Amino acid sequence: MARRQPAPARREGRRPLIAGNWKMHMTHLEAIGLVQKLVFSLTEEELDAAEVVVLPPFTALRSVQTLVNGDQLAIGYGAQDLSAHDSGAYTGEVSGAMLAALACGFVVVGHSERRSLHGEDDAVVAAKTQAALRHGLTPIVCVGEGLEVRQAGGHVAHCTAQLDASLAGLSAEDVTRVVLAYEPVWAIGTGEVATPEDAQEVCGALRSRLAERFGPDTAAVVRILYGGSVKAASTAGILAGPDVDGALVGGASLDADEFAKICRSAAGGS
Ligand SMILES: O=C(CO)COP(=O)(O)O
């Protein structure tokens, strides 16, 4: 069984990160089974070479925490959203403080499903990113263009503008604690994975934009993930891009065997 190990430094210090966004799937009982199967499918070396994170629904976080802490499992976990507010009369919301109390390491911010289904604009995304950082959580800030923007050739401008707005108000030091995810909306849940060149083009442009805004040293340490129909078979190609530091995986993260293969591929195995 794989237990906690210190992280190795790769790619200018950027350790590959594979995060499984379970979306609205898995009860807390199912979550325990999935995490156990996942961790037991991976070796200590693999979990050392790539950082593996699961992002269950809120209702499963406590169970995942208990399992990960109790068995000292070498994976991280976090939430799929948080409130921009720290406490108060916000029925149905969950604060960064509550997630920090469950020892979450990560939280997704600005997922396209939150942007489109819940009307979250860049200002909300920026406020949530700041809330995550206030509570010591690593925000996984998502950007990505829809099909029409891509077909019109506006994807780089769209994503860099989303980056600018989503990181508004942050210092360079804050930005070193952020993970970015490029998730083209047309590739999410569609089976239509971006080509490695598509992923690298936008991830590279995001890093260049980070360098312009926050300096090259900051840009060099920020991990940038690709997300959208990632499967084990496509992982190595996608991660070959020099600016692609990992993957944010939806559907394939619900299958322990497939997700373990993705993690293994990111760890440099076959
Ligand atoms: O939205 C995603 C991850 O956040 C991607 O989902 P799929 O991998 O199911 O396309």
Express each pLDDT in 220-240 by its tens digit. 999 999 999 999 999 999 999
Indicate whether 1 belongs to any domain. no
Question: Which residues are CB-neighbours of 204 under 8 A, at least 6 positions away?
Answer: 241, 242, 243
Rounded to the nearest whole angstrom, what is the distance from the C-alpha of residue 226 to the centroid of ligand 1?
10
111 is catalytic: yes
In a domain, 59, yes or no: yes
Burial-class residue 208 by CB neighbours within 10 Å (0-12, 13-18, 19+). middle
The answer to whether residue 7 scores a pLDDT higher than 60 is: no
The total number of structural domains in the chain stands at 1
pLDDT digits over 59-117, tens only?
A: 999 999 999 999 999 999 999 999 999 999 999 999 999 999 999 999 999 999 999 99
Residue 59 sits in a domain of what CATH number? 3.20.20.70
Is position 9 within any domain? no
Residue 214 lies in a domain: yes
Residue 270 pLDDT more than 70? no
14: which strand partners? Answer: none
Could you give the CA distance from residue 256 to residue 41 in angstroms, rounded to a whole number?
8
- Pick from 26, 53, 229 the residue to mutate for probing ligand 1's pocket: most ligand atoms within 8 Å of its CB: 229
Confidence of residue 11 (pLDDT cuts 50, 70, 90): low
- Is position 22 annotated in a ligand binding site? yes
Residue of minimum CA distance from atom 8 in ligand 1: 250
Dump pLDDT digits (tens) for 31-62: 999 999 999 999 999 999 999 999 999 999 99
pLDDT value at position 64? 98
Looking at the CA of residue 23, tell me the nearest atom of ligand 1: 4
Q: Looking at the domain assignment, is residue 5 inside a domain? A: no
pLDDT score for 222: 98
Does residue 87 belong to any structural domain of this protein? Answer: yes
| Residue 164, domain member (yes or no) | yes
Angle between helices 232-239 and 196-214 (to 10 degrees): 50
Q: What is residue 1's predicted lDDT score, i.e. its pLDDT?
A: 46
User: For 165-181, what is each residue's pLDDT tens digit?
Assistant: 999 999 999 999 999 99
Longest dimension (CA), the chain: 51
Tell me whether residue 21 is annotated as binding. Answer: yes
- Residue 171 included in any domain: yes
Residue nearest atom 6 of ligand 1, based on CA coordinates: 250
CA 220 to chain centre: 17
Which structural domain range is residue 161 located in?
Answer: 17-266
Residues of the chain above pLDDT 90, percent: 92
Helix (H, G, I), strand (E, B) or coil at 12: coil
Known catalytic residue at 93: no
Judge whether 189 is annotated as a binding position: yes
- Indicate whether residue 227 lines ligand 1 (CB < 6 A): yes
State how far the alpha carbon of 41 is from the alpha carbons of 132, 170, 245, 247, in Å: 31, 38, 22, 19
